[in-house]
Structure 1
Amino acid sequence: MALLSGATIMALSAGQHAFGQTALPKNIPEGLKLEADQALPITPFYTDNTLANTPSWPGALIRAEKVTDYAIPAGMTAWRILYHSLDAERHDVTTSAFVLLPAGPAPAGGWPMVAWAHGTSGVAQPCAPSLMKDLYYGDEGLFEFPKAGLAVVATDYHGEGTPGAHQYMNKLAQGYDVIYSVAAAHEALPGLLSQKWVADGHSQGGMASWSVGEMEQQMNNPDYLGTVSVSGTVDMLDFIAPKPEEIGAPFYFPMVAYGLKARYPDFDVKTVLSKEGYEHYPLIATKACWFTGYAAYLGKTSSQIMKPNWTKLPAVQAMLKEDRMGDEPVKGPLMVLTGGGDVSVPPGGVRKTAHKACRNGIKLFFHLYPGLDHDPTMINSTQDQIAWIKDRFAGKPFNENCGTF
């Protein structure tokens, strides 16, 4: 397929968030207001555990409801679902998601389905995309999938929307949430969704979607057709300790500390966060989301927020080991995209991981969009993603390009 070239892409610089066209906040009150403007209430749909505590299996549907309070394009329909999933240690967890259906009647066999994994929205319960009027990625290409005839099931990840701790930046926890959203969506909307599906994700979700490919190598689900990973945090060390020339985004690091605590309950976040870094941590951990996290640490460097040598602590090293990508076999085709101007998830780490995967015999297609930052890469690659995904549903041959990048 024809990929966009640097000459035809406008090098947007919308920042490292999933509200690509919204002005970034300069302070915490501005961040909280931007989030409040999009927020929907946490209803008993998310919190009533009467059925959630019933012994069940991963992917089992707990409840579903049709939704009318999302700001979605005319003709599309939306549902919320609640389902059983697994955390990183394979404990049962309750996870929420939304489903978007294209306009018009479903084709024979149901709408082809994309299991979507979102980028960082925050770590607190209110930060679930299904609790946002614009579904977080609405203006960043997500609505283009249903417009192209692809249904979307989009997990929130457990701990966002549902009670409990969100195991932020854990490839196993997020991978399970994506995989099991597919079975739950089928149960919620019988006959409307194709059994065949593809995984796709951006940023945090780019690691999750790649992880889905690894998991499916073991599960060997014949209906899984492949994965798209866009600007994925597939080199976690490069993400949390970028080279000076890579800039990086230190305001994510308190969220990483939260994820460590969620994954390893005995972990003390104050072993990695400085006094200045901990100042806004309780707000981020309980009710604030991406905008407020960005504003809370605006202008702060990693050395101001984090303690010296924090990446060498045992819990961090355990996270890095668990999140390693590019070593395990991947089932089906893999598309890896990144932006040459990404200051949140350095493209060097993505390319390095793709090189490693190729050396390990993983067949993939890699492309770098020159000059594009984190979210502009998602926005400007959407049509390339859709074309690649449609090729998978059409059964077309997969062209890998290992050895050429």
Structure 2
Amino acid sequence: MTIAPDRRVIRFALLPLLLAGTVCGPFEVSAQSDTATAAQDMFAGVTVRMPDAFYDPPAQVPDTPGALLRSEPLRNIRLPAGMRGWRILYTTTVNDITRATAVATVVAPIDPPAGPRPLITWEHGTTGLQQRCMPSLISAPTLGIPALDQIVRAGWVIVATDYSFAEKGGPHPYLIGEGEARAALDSVRAARQMSELTLEARTVVWGHSQGGHSALWTGIVAPRYAPEIEIAGVAAIAPATNLRNILAMNQGIDKRLGPYVALAYSRFYPDITFEQAVRPEALPAARGIAGLCGFLPAEEPLRAAALTATFEGPALATRSSAALSARLAQNSPDHPIPAPVVIAQGAEDDVVPPAVTASYVEERCAAGQRLEYWTFARLDHGMVQPGSKLEEPLIAWTAARFANEPPPKGCTRKSL
């Protein structure tokens, strides 16, 4: 029997907007929509290269996480006007027993104001599990980071991790909060060792979708893992919060990204195997999907969409695997975050359902977490695209954090 693929999965394939998408995939729009046209324009001329020797760790890797191993200026890539950039290789850890390395992209104004510069730690959305799928390998590595022109004018620096790799190729710790957060925090440590830059002690963390999940976990993990890094604020945009609920409410996303979860969890959790984490009828397709990138080369998301059409139902065996269900729950970012937090959610998002985010906010507020919750009418999961009405309040909120202005007390809500 031929099974029609979920239309959201097709959209994922037709609009592979890497960093603009994801826990769960890019813009939820039809291929004929204005957003689709803007997306195609944004990706026009973007190319991808394979990892070169820069990505290979040296023979002797320091035990200390956050050590800068190498750095080089970016060449033959597309950056916003007024910016220059580098790529850096550094040490990190996935957990207390798993060492890894990671690559990050660092971008800074060409002519910054005098003095140490504030740092934005950017955590990107889903692009795939393998190193060849990572943002530092595309010809426009800042694609998907909101408000770039405003960042240049403010004189801020950005460090954008690819996340970490315990072995060449991958997988990275996908939707594993501890591993994601450690890679981000160690990118800050490494960026501070660059001779070309002088950075402040403070950073504001931004993340979208998978990166929103990672940003929240960065706020959770920082006081324990990297107490010398002052997290001035955490901005989580359309974040993956309650992973089980997101997957349960969006079967198309489970079919497409569930194989990523299964492979990453089976690599880093001893009680998870890929075969047990995936439903038997989905296994052949899931093995293929897990190795494909989510954006470029362009044929890979199309192949993934075709594979999702070969089985009915979700990919993940969440109902039958108690271990998988427990690990998904473990990775919900439901721990205190000392830093100021803002959560931004588009009301039209059908990738990360607004109801899931609203429920998460209610739970965290009831637990005493101080946060701001912004909801945006008529915005979908692609709310980080250039010119979005997210940009102005996000920049103002970030500037206030760098200026040490006190955030609102308790939980506040705002419709924008």
CA contact (8 A) 2:86 2:107 kept: yes
Q: How does 1:18-33 map to 2 (within 5 A)?
A: 18=18
Q: How does 1:145-294 map to 2 (within 5 A)?
A: 145-159=151-165, 163-189=169-195, 191-218=197-224, 219-221=226-228, 223-242=230-249, 248=253, 250-264=255-269, 267-274=272-279, 277-286=282-291, 288-290=293-295, 292-293=300-301
Per the TM alignment, residue 283 of structure 1 is displaced from its structure 2 partner at its CA by 4.4
Could you tell me which of 312, 321, 333 is aligned with 1:304?
Answer: 312
- Residues 45-88 of structure 1, C-alpha deviation per residue, up to 9 Å, x if partnerless? 101432xx433211111111111122112331110001111103
The 2-side partners of 1:395 and 1:136 are apart by: 27
Structure 1 residues 101 and 162, CA gap change in structure 2 (3 angstroms): farther
Q: For 1:94, what is the secondary structure of its paired residue? A: strand
Q: How does 1:46-125 map to 2 (within 5 A)?
A: 46-50=55-59, 53-109=60-116, 111-125=117-131
Gaps of 5+ in 2: 1-11, 21-25, 32-42
Greater mean alpha carbon deviation, residues 342-351 or residues 271-280: 271-280
CA contact (8 A) 1:209 1:228 kept: yes
Could you tell me which of 296, 318, 322 is aligned with 2:326?
Answer: 318
2:263 maps to amino acid: Y
Structure 1 residues 206 and 139, CA gap change in structure 2 (3 angstroms): closer
The 2-side partners of 1:305 and 1:69 are apart by: 44
Q: 2:53 aligns to what?
A: 44
Structure 1 residues 160 and 386, CA gap change in structure 2 (3 angstroms): farther
2:47 maps to amino acid: Q
Q: 2:3 aligns to what?
A: none
CA contact (8 A) 2:373 2:412 kept: no
CA contact (8 A) 1:238 1:346 kept: no
CA contact (8 A) 1:338 1:369 kept: yes
Gaps of 5+ in 1: 1-12, 26-33
- Residues 184-217 of structure 1, C-alpha deviation per residue, up to 9 Å, x if partnerless? 0010245432222111100011011111111134
Structure 1 residues 224 and 321, CA gap change in structure 2 (3 angstroms): same
Q: 1:372 aligns to what?
A: 379
2:18 maps to amino acid: A
Q: 1:340 aligns to what?
A: 347
Aligned length: 381
Q: 1:6 aligns to what?
A: none
Per the TM alignment, residue 167 of structure 1 is displaced from its structure 2 partner at its CA by 1.4
CA contact (8 A) 1:204 1:232 kept: yes
Q: 1:7 aligns to what?
A: none
CA contact (8 A) 2:289 2:307 kept: no
Per the TM alignment, residue 228 of structure 1 is displaced from its structure 2 partner at its CA by 0.6
